[in-house]
């Protein structure tokens, strides 16, 4: 990033599992064939069965696995937070641990926890909505529909909407590698239709069918899977008259 740049980070700071390389915390703690079975079930939309496989493989080792996951998770957060620029505006994704991420954000002053808040950056109002909607996986970074709606209601009108998950538009939610729709938000879609911010940024879907499309005058942008591309998305300010 250019010196003096502002960073907006849209969640999923740690790597539990990279489907492309089969690397991450899960393959360090569980056998690769176990993780591969979980991936196969999730790809088929059988998330409950995938969770049951993980529970069976954890039986009798729950505390050991919990410690191993926590140790690796904290090590990854340490690495990520140490690399963040001043300022960084942060929201979390479904993979994140809100409690742990909050702990690290308190230790790293350049990081601003932006969820549910509005900030004026270079003359534009940026609104932030973190988290993902409930799924059978029941992971820590999920929020309820009511919580998502309350965050959006609290923003008012913004020029740039920043969320972890996309609005509920099939082209934006379909992951071509997984071969399935990830969950988008109807409330995000409703906000975009009603408010028409200039831009709506999000992530969550790593290999989207469509990375950009317009909803009315709002350009919706999947800013990309940074772990794979190592490229940030350069925000372009509003054109001046």
Beta strands in 96-236 (DSSP E): 111-113, 118-121, 124-129, 160-163, 174-175, 180-181, 199-202, 212-215, 218-222
7-13+84-229 maps to CATH 3.30.300.30: no
Are the CB atoms for 203 and 93 separated by under 8 Å?
yes
Compute how many other C-beta atoms are within 10 angstroms of the C-beta atom of residue 79: 11
Compute how many other C-beta atoms are within 10 angstroms of the C-beta atom of residue 98: 16
Compute how many other C-beta atoms are within 10 angstroms of the C-beta atom of residue 216: 11
Residue 21 has a pLDDT of 81
- Kindly report the pTM of this predicted structure: 0.91
Alpha-carbon distance of 53 to 158, in angstroms, equals 43
Alpha-carbon distance of 40 to 105, in angstroms, equals 35
Q: Peptide bond preceding 6: is omega within 30 degrees of 0, i.e. cis?
A: no
Residue 198 has a pLDDT of 98
Alpha-carbon distance of 100 to 57, in angstroms, equals 25
Q: Is the alpha carbon torsion for 144, 160, 182, 114 positive or negative?
A: negative
Residue 2 has a pLDDT of 63
User: Could you give phi then psi for residue 229, rounded to 5 degrees?
Assistant: -95, -25
User: Could you give phi then psi for residue 53, rounded to 5 degrees?
Assistant: -60, -45
CA 184 vs. chain centroid, Å, equals 12
In a structure prediction context, what are the per-residue pLDDT tens digits for the chain, which is 241 residues long? 666 789 999 999 999 887 778 889 989 998 888 888 988 887 787 878 888 888 898 888 889 999 999 999 999 999 999 999 999 999 999 999 999 999 999 999 999 999 999 999 999 999 999 999 998 778 889 999 999 999 999 999 999 999 999 999 999 999 988 788 999 999 999 999 999 999 999 999 989 999 999 999 999 999 988 877 778 889 988 876 5
Q: Secondary structure of the chain: what % helix, strand, coil (to 5)?
A: 35, 20, 45
Query: What are the residues whose beta carbons fall under 8 Å from the beta carbon of 147, sequence distance 6 or more?
Result: 131
* 168: DSSP letter: S
Residue 169 has a pLDDT of 98
Residue 240 has a pLDDT of 66
Are the CB atoms for 182 and 172 separated by under 8 Å?
no
Alpha-carbon distance of 198 to 160, in angstroms, equals 6
Are the CB atoms for 196 and 157 separated by under 8 Å?
no
Residue 1 has a pLDDT of 62
């Amino acid at each position: 990033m250019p010196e003096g740049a502002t960073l907006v980070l849209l969640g999923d700071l740690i790597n539990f599992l990279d489907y492309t390389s089969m690397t991450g915390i899960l393959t360090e703690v569980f056998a690769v064939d176990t993780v591969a079975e979980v991936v196969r079930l999730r790809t088929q939309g059988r998330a409950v069965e995938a969770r049951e496989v993980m529970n069976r493989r954890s039986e009798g080792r729950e505390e050991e696995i919990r410690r191993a996951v926590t140790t690796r998770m904290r090590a990854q957060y340490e690495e990520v937070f140490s690399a963040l620029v001043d300022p960084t505006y942060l929201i979390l994704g479904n993979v994140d641990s809100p409690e742990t991420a909050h702990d690290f954000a308190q230790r790293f002053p350049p990081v601003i926890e932006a969820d549910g808040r509005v900030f004026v950056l270079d003359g534009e109002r940026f609104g932030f909505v973190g988290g993902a909607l409930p799924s059978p996986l029941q992971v820590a970074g999920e929020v309820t529909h009511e919580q998502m709606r309350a965050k959006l209601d609290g923003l008012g009108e913004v020029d740039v909407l920043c969320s972890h998950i996309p609005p509920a538009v099939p082209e934006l939610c379909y992951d071509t590698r997984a071969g399935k729709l990830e969950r988008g938000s109807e409330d995000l879609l409703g906000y975009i239709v009603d408010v028409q911010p200039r831009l709506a940024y999000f992530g969550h879907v790593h290999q989207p069918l469509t990375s950009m499309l317009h909803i009315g005058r709002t350009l919706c942008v999947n800013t990309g899977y940074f772990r794979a591309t190592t490229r940030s998305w350069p925000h372009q300010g509003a054109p001046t008259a």
